[in-house]
Amino acid sequence: MANAEFGRAVRRWRDRCAPEAAGLPAGGHRRAAGLRREELALLAGISADYVTRLEQGRAANPSAQVVGALARALRLSDEERGHLFRLAGLAPPGPDTVPTHIGPSVQRLVDRLAGTPVAVYDATWTLLTANPPYAALMGDPTGRRGHERNGVWRHFIGPGSRARHTEESRRAFEAALVADLRAAADRYPADRPLQRLVGELRAGSGRFAELWDAGTVGRHEAAHKIIDHPQVGPLTLDCDVLTVAGSDLRIMVYTAEPGTEAAERLALLTVLGTQTLTG
């Protein structure tokens, strides 16, 4: 059960975390240098009321997902993250579970690519964080919860994405995606959320079940993609996936060839963000 010490730790680290370090504007009058509760809630994908109850020791049994999200939002080190899990009465994730912690060096890399669409996924293709240009390009993910944040689930069961596919490219993409998820399941056999995800995918998608039962193991590698954006139209982009050694995180980066119409449209999206385009 989360206790007063858990709440004090969250408050202490919230006060320490500067808004600009978390990718937020630092302007306006502030009583403290750190994050506001509403800002921490936004970054962690939970309600501000829940943050308040956690800090005051009134919220019991925060889930591992919530504690992990708070650790990412607060930019905690590996040691601090482990301490926060233990304060919540939880065992820190071990070597047999999918890593979800974004270390300071990876976060700095994402921060420095402020003009490029970048997202960080774990080994199951669950979205951990995305910068504003990525949200503008692919849709704002801040309201997504649970499996809604998983790229495999969204493709086979959920609403899909803005990426355009031919029948041939779709089949190749699906085969690679399932092979990649199977490889992750082999690497992390004790990860129960991953087991539940696979079970729901097999039950909810005949195509996924067919590919899963084929037993192929591999890695999903990105290439050229056409993104159908609802405001600016189609963008032909290079999509590269970088794997972080030691943490199995995937950094997805979208870029456009200089001088192309796609580059102009991507630059426009980066400036406008997720606001609705009119006129």
Give the sign of the dihedral formed by CA 126, CA 132, CA 137, CA 141. positive
| CATH number, domain with residue 14 | 1.10.260.40
Give the domain-ending residue among 87, 115, 143: 87
Most confident of 1-15, 93-107, 165-179: 165-179
% of the chain beyond a pLDDT of 90: 53
Q: Is residue 94 part of a domain?
A: no
Tokens of 42: 């936004």
pLDDT of amino acid 92:
83
Q: Are residues 83 and 172 in the same domain?
A: no
* Residue 7: half-sphere exposure toward Cβ, Cα within 13 Å: 16
Q: Is residue 278 part of a domain?
A: no
For residue 191, which phi and psi values (nearest 5 degrees)?
A: -80, 105
Q: Which range marks the domain in which residue 79 is found? A: 4-87
In this model, does residue 237 exceed pLDDT 90?
Answer: yes
Q: Are residues 140 and 64 in the same domain?
A: no
Q: Are residues 119 and 188 in the same domain?
A: yes
Q: Is residue 145 part of a domain?
A: yes
Q: Are residues 62 and 132 in the same domain?
A: no
What's the whole-number mean pLDDT along residues 225-248? 91
pLDDT tens digits for range 64-110: 889 988 998 898 888 898 999 999 998 888 778 899 888 888 888 88
Round to the nearest angstrom and report the end-to-end CA distance of the chain.
53
Q: Are residues 150 and 21 in the same domain?
A: no
**Number of domains, the chain:** 2
Quickly state the pLDDT bin for 277 (edges 50, 70, 90): very low
What's the whole-number mean pLDDT along residues 16-30? 72
Q: Is residue 95 part of a domain?
A: no
Give the domain-ending residue among 87, 117, 139: 87
pLDDT of amino acid 143:
82
Give the domain-ending residue among 87, 116, 151: 87
Q: Are residues 66 and 123 in the same domain?
A: no
In this model, does residue 33 exceed pLDDT 50?
Answer: yes
| CATH number, domain with residue 178 | 3.30.450.180
pLDDT tens digits for range 186-210: 999 989 999 999 999 999 999 999 9
Q: Are residues 142 and 241 in the same domain?
A: yes
Q: Is residue 148 part of a domain?
A: yes
- Work out the burial of residue 68: count CB atoms within 10 Å of its CB; fewer than 13 is exposed, 13-18 middle, 19 or more buried: buried
Q: Are residues 169 and 120 in the same domain?
A: yes
pLDDT of amino acid 272:
78
pLDDT of amino acid 2:
57
Q: Is residue 79 part of a domain?
A: yes
Contact 51, 39 (CB under 8 A): no
Q: Is residue 277 part of a domain?
A: no
What's the whole-number mean pLDDT along residues 255-269? 94
Nearest CA-CA partner of 268 in 231, 224, 237 = 231
61 vs 152, which has greater pLDDT? 152
Q: Is residue 93 part of a domain?
A: no
Q: Are residues 134 and 52 in the same domain?
A: no
Beta bridge partners of 236: 226
pLDDT of amino acid 278:
42
pLDDT of amino acid 23:
66
Q: Give, for 224, the enclosing helix (H) or strand (E).
A: strand 224-229
Q: Are residues 49 and 170 in the same domain?
A: no
Quickly state the pLDDT bin for 257 (edges 50, 70, 90): very high
Q: Are residues 64 and 127 in the same domain?
A: no
75 vs 157, which has greater pLDDT? 157
Q: Are residues 73 and 45 in the same domain?
A: yes
